[in-house]
């Protein structure tokens, strides 16, 4: 080991890594990352480098990573300049208008889709840091850079430990507010183009704006902490806020156009409704477990009165009257039409509601209450037929809040809640009813039965989620079976479209993101094929819930590439040929996704790009893509790639890698649990975002980067030709090589080395007596060596596969060079090297602890294992109890009258030296490791 101290700066650390990398030709076992870690560890141990200096290096590396993220965000958003994108949207509208009023009406009055704000554990960055990133993206400069520095310097642990559903809901509402502003701008463009092209007809247009929706506060999949009254409270608060916005818009129109007297009555009614709804929301936010409180809140909500407004149709009628009275006042008519379009789209909420339950919750109703078998094979044929029969003759029931209070079935309770929302809060709002883990058509039919039973089927879009490999394989037949039932086909015709949800998270986790994307595109087209002869004329609403990271299907390039990747041009062209109108919805997930709507500028550029996607005709080039003609090669590739990932996912070493210490790298990022509370163990127990987050933290986003090199090894030439010739295949492989740029096996092997007992024996041999004892203590905790073996065996498997992938990449037309890859990873390697040094320092610190009394029911080895599992915060808390700091206890007992006290003193009752030398540094290391975990999210533009 070199004896030269590394200056703790990015420049010095980067140069050290380059020098180490030059040794690889002479020593293939060289690991530049771990060499940096060991040298920095030695410098810290010998007092040559302090933790404050290391913190400065982390801050410098973090600032570079977060600045690069802000720059990528700015580039994706066309420089965060809406004026650079809206003219493209206007040009597209003008192109459609040139085809005539009917073509224009068809284009703007049909629903095309929208955006959905979802959550899950994706709020790893504090609000302050997200605001700073958005500021740097929109207006880079000295002030925004200072804000970035301040945000990354702060101890973010308190934020991550205190994330609540309420705070997530507030974040979603902020994003929805900016999205609504962008939606309003688009409405203005529609009417400006229409007025110029169709001066006699533009008043009569009723555009269907891109929808904005959210499931934050309504998604029950994977959580038990959201009660029905939480969702009611959220909806009432959203209604009050939206009514305030409508009131403000009407007031602004009146101020600008004093002659619009017909709006005065609407303004007064909105003011009363705002006040009443705010009172209702406050009452429902109380203790609804108290029957008396529930009765008061329910009676207030259901009572008639001047402030009761439950149907946006009343607002629309008032606006229509004002439009008639506006006459030739084009400016007034424009403002009224824009407001009308938003009211028509949003109804009485800030966003449309997406409820979500798990299929198992509906299956419980089928089994326990309807006495039917929800688990039968052959896609649930007998149960499906019986449920269809029952759905045909529903006996609709009225429910009240007592029914909600007493109901124990989650599924039934959600349908009851829908009924109460539609009856007493927002009568005209469509509600999406998402069913996660749908693998049996009987589940969807049961949902239709329950919707009709509670009288909500007219407003409910029942939407199965296809995400697991089995669901993606059978989803086409799933929909065929449903549409073969007359009752379901009738329901789809009445709604005007079939709704489905496609998940990229679990599919990408189980079979790899590239294979998952291919399976999702396949099911898109299988469902289109099933619909065409069964429900001609109906639309297909596809909600792609992909998240923001590559590990969940988000394309890391332009918005155009991203949207085409999610819903391919070929699929859109196929739908057009079959006469099926696609309604496309896309998710923006949590703190990372909300960044795209963090400011009015970012929201406008995001929605403008989305509108371009929705209005774009199917490109003619899709028909000539060889991806869709070389189906033999493509599906051989798919099967081989899927098989590789399925084998890897079930590998015991991989399971150990994800369970031993990697969970300690993942910060708390949301109010939803990161692991499944029951069921399968190992990687399957991890939820998809947490699984992907661990891979990011280990520098091996393998569910996206890996498997391709090992697929079709005998067909490499043909595969290379296909990638170079096919836009779709190129898109898939480019997603993988973008992930490959962030993959580093030296980093992974560095973590293996930390857990290698041989390393600690080697350090002990060269250390001082005090250090030797500490290092041997770590050795004894790690001496089985299983963790290091599992990590290295995993690295070996990945090395073989990635080497093959690199050889394939080298033959592609747009391949990144090996040299540029290595240089681009320098900052990533520095961050990981620093983390590994800090981990070693933490291990060595607890190795120095004195013997622990048996009365504490723990041992030194237990404490070392806590730290090697990276449960450092727990360790600090435990050590503070075992070794309390000194306290001035003598003053507390000073009223004793007996003489004495000469032996008493504050220093005799505490362990200040352990706090200053071990516990304090451990806590500081925990803070720095936390910051490093946050910094490692930035190259991926998301957590998980």
Give how far the C-alpha of residue 52 lies from the chain's centroid of Cα atoms, to the nearest Å. Answer: 34
Tokens of 460: 């409910």
pLDDT recorded at residue 372:
83
The mean pLDDT value of the chain amounts to 93
CB atoms within 10 A of CB 819: 8
Mean pLDDT of 141-169: 95
Helix (H) or strand (E) holding 586: strand 582-589
Distance CA 470, CA 370 (A): 26
- pLDDT reported for residue 641: 97
Please, are residues 648 and 797 in contact by the beta-carbon 8 Å criterion? yes
Whole-number Cα distances in Å, 626 to 74, 563, 724: 34, 20, 10
Task: Count CB atoms within 10 A of the CB of residue 647.
Answer: 13
User: Which residues fall within 8 angstroms of residue 427, CB to CB, at 6 or more apart?
Assistant: 310, 311, 312, 313
**How high is the pLDDT of residue 828?**
97
pLDDT digits (tens, 9 = 90+) for 275-311: 999 999 999 999 898 999 999 999 999 999 999 999 9
Residue 842 pLDDT more than 60?
Answer: yes
The whole-number pLDDT of residue 170 equals 97
pLDDT band of residue 906 (cuts 50, 70, 90) is: very low
Q: How far apart are CA 179 and CA 594, in angstroms?
A: 10
Residue 700: predicted pLDDT: 98
Q: pLDDT over 70 for what percent of the chain?
A: 96
Residues comprising the chain, all counted? 944
Report the chain's C-alpha Rg in angstroms. Answer: 30
d(CA 706, CA 277): 53
Average pLDDT over residues 783-791: 96
Say if residues 39 and 1 touch (Cβ distance below 8 Å): yes
Bridge partners of 169, per DSSP, are none
pLDDT at 888 (0 to 100): 53
Distance CA 807, CA 254 (A): 68
Categorize the per-residue pLDDT at 34 as very low, low, confident or very high, splitting at 50, 70 and 90.
very high
Q: State the pLDDT at residue 428.
A: 96
Query: What is the band of 1 on the pLDDT scale with cuts at 50, 70, 90?
Result: very low
Per DSSP, helices labelled H in 539-628 are 559-566, 569-578, 590-594, 600-615
Is pLDDT above 70 for 130? yes
In this structure, the number of other CB atoms found within 10 A of the CB of residue 95 comes to 15
Q: Determine the Cα–Cα distance for residues 548 and 519; give it in Å rounded to an integer.
A: 19
Q: How confident is the model at residue 73 (pLDDT cuts 50, 70, 90)?
A: very high
- Output the CA–CA distances (angstroms, integers) from residue 139 to 80, 599, 615, in the order listed: 8, 11, 30
pLDDT in tens, 393-416: 878 899 999 999 999 999 999 999
Q: Would you say residue 531 has pLDDT above 80?
A: yes
Query: Which among 474, 477, 451 has a CA at the least distance from the CA of 463?
Result: 451
> Distance between CA 426 and CA 874 in Å, rounded?
47
pLDDT confidence bin for 903, thresholds 50/70/90: low
Query: For the whole model, what pTM was predicted?
Result: 0.94
DSSP state, 350?
S
- Tens of pLDDT, residues 162-211: 999 999 999 999 999 999 999 999 999 999 999 999 999 999 999 999 99
**Which residue, among 153, 126, 145, has the nearest Cα to 56 in the 3D structure?**
153
Compute the average pLDDT of residues 883-905: 65
Instruction: Render pLDDT for 368-393 as a digit per residue (tens, 0 to 9).
Output: 888 887 665 545 678 898 999 999 98
Q: State residue 892's pLDDT score.
A: 57
Q: Is the dihedral of CA 802, 808, 812, 818 positive or negative?
A: positive
DSSP string, 257-324: -TT-TTHHHHHHHHHHHHHHHHHHHHHHTS-TTSHHHHHHHHHHHHS--TT----THHHHHHHHHHHH
Residue 907 predicted with pLDDT over 50: no
Rounded distance between C-alpha atoms, residue 178 and residue 289, angstroms: 35
The β-bridge partners of 585 are 114, 543
* pLDDT class of 901 with cuts at 50, 70, 90: low
DSSP per-residue string spanning 308-343: ----THHHHHHHHHHHHHHTT-HHHHHHHHHHHHHH
Distance CA 149, CA 255 (A): 43
Give the whole-number percent of the chain exceeding pLDDT 90: 84
Mean pLDDT to the nearest integer, 139-146:
96
Mean pLDDT, rounded, for 643-647: 97
CA distance 427 to 310: 6
Q: How would residue 737 be classed by pLDDT, with cut points 50, 70 and 90?
A: very high
Q: Give the tens place of pLDDT for each residue, 90-104.
A: 999 999 999 999 999
The set of residues, in sequence order, having a beta carbon less than 8 Å from that of 47 and lying 6+ positions away, is none
Rounded to whole angstroms, the Cα distance separating 113 from 572 reads 13
Q: How confident is the model at residue 908 (pLDDT cuts 50, 70, 90)?
A: very low
The pLDDT of residue 368 is: 85
- pLDDT mean over 244-250: 98
């Amino acid at each position: 080991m070199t004896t030269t101290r590394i200056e703790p700066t990015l420049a010095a650390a980067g140069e050290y890594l380059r020098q180490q990398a030059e040794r690889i030709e002479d020593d293939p076992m060289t690991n530049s990352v771990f060499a940096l870690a060991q040298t920095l560890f030695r410098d810290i141990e010998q007092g040559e480098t302090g933790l404050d200096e290391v913190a400065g290096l982390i801050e410098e590396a973090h600032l570079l990573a977060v600045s690069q993220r802000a720059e990528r965000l700015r580039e994706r958003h066309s420089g965060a300049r809406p004026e650079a994108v809206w003219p493209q949207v206007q040009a597209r509208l003008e192109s459609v208008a040139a085809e005539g009023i009917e073509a224009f009406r068809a284009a703007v009055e049909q629903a095309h889709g929208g955006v959905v704000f979802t959550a899950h554990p994706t709020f790893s960055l504090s609000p302050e840091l997200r605001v700073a990133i958005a500021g740097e993206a929109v207006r880079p400069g000295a002030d925004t850079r200072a804000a970035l520095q301040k945000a990354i310097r702060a101890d973010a642990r308190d934020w991550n430990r205190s994330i609540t559903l309420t705070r997530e809901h507030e974040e979603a509402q902020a994003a929805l507010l900016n999205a609504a502003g962008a939606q309003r701008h688009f409405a203005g463009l529609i009417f400006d183009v229409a007025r110029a092209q169709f001066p006699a007809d533009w008043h009569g247009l009723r555009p269907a704006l891109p929808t904005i929706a959210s499931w934050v506060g309504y998604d029950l999949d994977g959580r038990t902490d959201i009660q029905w009254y939480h969702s009611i409270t959220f909806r009432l608060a959203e209604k009050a806020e939206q009514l305030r916005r409508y009131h403000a818009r009407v007031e602004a129109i009146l101020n600008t156009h004093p002659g619009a007297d017909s709006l005065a009555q609407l303004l007064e009614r909105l003011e009363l409704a705002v006040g009443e709804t705010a009172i209702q929301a406050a009452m429902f936010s109380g203790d609804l477990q108290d029957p008396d409180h529930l009765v008061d809140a329910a009676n207030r909500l259901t009572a008639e009165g001047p402030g009761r407004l439950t149907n946006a149709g009343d607002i629309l009628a008032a606006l229509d009257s004002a439009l008639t009275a506006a006459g030739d006042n084009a400016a007034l008519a424009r403002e009224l039409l824009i407001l009308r379009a938003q009211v028509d789209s949003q109804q009485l909420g800030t966003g449309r509601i997406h409820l979500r339950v798990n299929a198992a919750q509906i299956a419980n109703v089928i089994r326990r209450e309807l006495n039917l078998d929800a688990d039968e094979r052959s896609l649930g044929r007998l149960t499906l037929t019986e449920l269809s029969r029952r759905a045909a003759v529903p006996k609709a029931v009225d429910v009240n809040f007592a029914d909600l209070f007493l109901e124990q079935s989650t599924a039934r309770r959600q349908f009851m809640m829908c009924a109460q929302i539609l009856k007493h809060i927002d009568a005209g709002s469509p509600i999406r009813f998402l069913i996660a883990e749908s693998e049996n058509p009987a589940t969807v039919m049961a949902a239709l039965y329950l919707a009709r039973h509670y009288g909500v089927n007219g407003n409910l879009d029942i939407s199965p989620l296809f995400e697991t490999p089995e669901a993606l394989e059978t989803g086409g037949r799933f929909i065929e079976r449903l549409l073969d039932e007359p009752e379901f086909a009738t329901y789809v015709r009445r709604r005007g479209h079939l709704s489905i949800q496609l998940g990229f998270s679990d599919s990408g986790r189980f079979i790899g993101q590239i294979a998952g994307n291919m399976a999702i595109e396949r099911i898109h087209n299988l469902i289109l094929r099933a619909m065409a002869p069964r429900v001609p004329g109906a639309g297909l609403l596809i909600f792609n819930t992909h998240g923001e990271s590559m590990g969940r299907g988000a394309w890391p390039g332009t918005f155009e590439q991203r949207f085409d990747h999610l819903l391919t041009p070929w699929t859109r062209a196929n739908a057009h040929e079959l006469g099926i109108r696609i309604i496309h919805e896309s998710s923006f997930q949590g703190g990372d996704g909300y960044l795209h709507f963090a400011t009015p500028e970012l929201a406008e550029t995001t929605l403008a790009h989305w509108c371009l996607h929705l209005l774009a005709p199917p490109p003619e080039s899709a028909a000539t893509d060889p991806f869709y003609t070389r189906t033999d090669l493509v599906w051989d590739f798919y099967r081989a790639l899927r098989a590789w990932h399925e084998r890897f996912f079930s590998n015991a070493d991989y399971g150990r890698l994800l369970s031993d210490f990697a969970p300690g790298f993942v910060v708390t990022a949301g109010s939803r649990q990161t692991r499944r509370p029951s069921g399968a163990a190992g990687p399957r127990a991890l939820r998809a975002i947490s699984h992907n987050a661990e891979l990011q933290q280990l520098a091996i986003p393998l569910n996206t980067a890996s498997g391709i090199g090992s697929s079709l090894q005998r067909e490499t030439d043909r595969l290379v030709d296909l990638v170079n010739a096919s836009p779709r295949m190129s898109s898939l492989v480019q997603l993988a090589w973008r992930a490959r740029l962030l993959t580093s096996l030296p980093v992974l092997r560095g973590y293996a080395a930390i857990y290698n007992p041989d390393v600690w024996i080697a350090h002990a041999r060269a250390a001082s007596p005090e250090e030797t004892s500490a290092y041997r203590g770590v050795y004894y905790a790690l001496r089985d060596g299983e963790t290091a073996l599992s990590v290295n065996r995993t690295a070996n498997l990945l090395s073989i596969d990635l080497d093959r992938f690199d050889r394939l990449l080298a033959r592609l037309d747009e391949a990144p060079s090996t040299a540029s890859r290595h240089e681009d990873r320098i900052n990533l390697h520095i961050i990981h090297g620093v983390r590994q040094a800090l981990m070693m320092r933490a291990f060595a610190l607890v190795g120095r602890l004195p013997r622990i009394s048996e009365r504490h029911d723990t041992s030194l080895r237990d404490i070392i294992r806590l730290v090697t599992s990276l449960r450092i915060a727990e360790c600090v808390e435990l050590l503070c109890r075992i070794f309390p700091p000194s306290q001035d206890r003598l003053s507390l007992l000073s009223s004793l009258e007996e003489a004495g006290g000469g032996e008493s003193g504050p220093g005799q009752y505490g362990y200040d030296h352990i706090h200053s030398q071990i516990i304090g540094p451990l806590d500081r290391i925990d803070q720095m490791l936390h910051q490093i975990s946050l910094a490692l999210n930035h190259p991926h533009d998301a957590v998980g």
